[in-house]
Amino acid sequence: QKEVEQNSGPLSVPEGAIASLNCTYSDRGSQSFFWYRQYSGKSPELIMFIYSNGDKEDGRFTAQLNKASQYVSLLIRDSQPSDSATYLCAVNPLKTSYDKVIFGPGTSLSVIP
């Protein structure tokens, strides 16, 4: 069983629309959740992290966490062509003394002008 799952996509949305990216995880005790953006050929860069149930907003990005459902999502409002990238969900189960963050396979997002 995969530990962190994401729809591989590609997810296509028109410019200005809301893009919704979803992620589920298997370890119910997980405590830290991250979203990274990775442009083609580049390294992942952190967009947001979330620790508590509910929503966390940062500009056009909103992360949503539901620990009971083991579900975390990322909403991108007013999507721009520059948002076209692969989005990686990452989960830290905190079972060890180091940050063994587990990454999902990523969802490819394409924003159509």
Site residues (vs other proteins, CB under 8 A) = 31-32, 34, 41-46, 49, 51, 88, 90, 92, 94, 96-101, 103-106
Query: Measured from the CB atom, is 47 or 79 closer to other proteins?
Result: 47
From the CB of 103, what's the least distance to other proteins, in Å? Answer: 4
Q: Report the relative pairing of strands 61-66 and 54-58 from DSSP bridges.
A: antiparallel
User: Which is closer to other proteins, CB of 71 or CB of 105?
Assistant: 105
Q: Burial letters for 65-89: b for 16+ Cβ neighbours within 10 Å, e otherwise?
A: bebeebebbbbbeebeeebbbbbbb
Two tokens at 40? 């083609």
CB closer to other proteins out of 17 and 105: 105
Q: How far is the CB of 78 from other proteins (least distance, A)?
A: 25
Rounded to the nearest whole angstrom, what is the least distance from the CB of residue 49 to other proteins in the complex? Answer: 6
Q: Which is nearer to other proteins, 79 or 93 (CB)?
A: 93
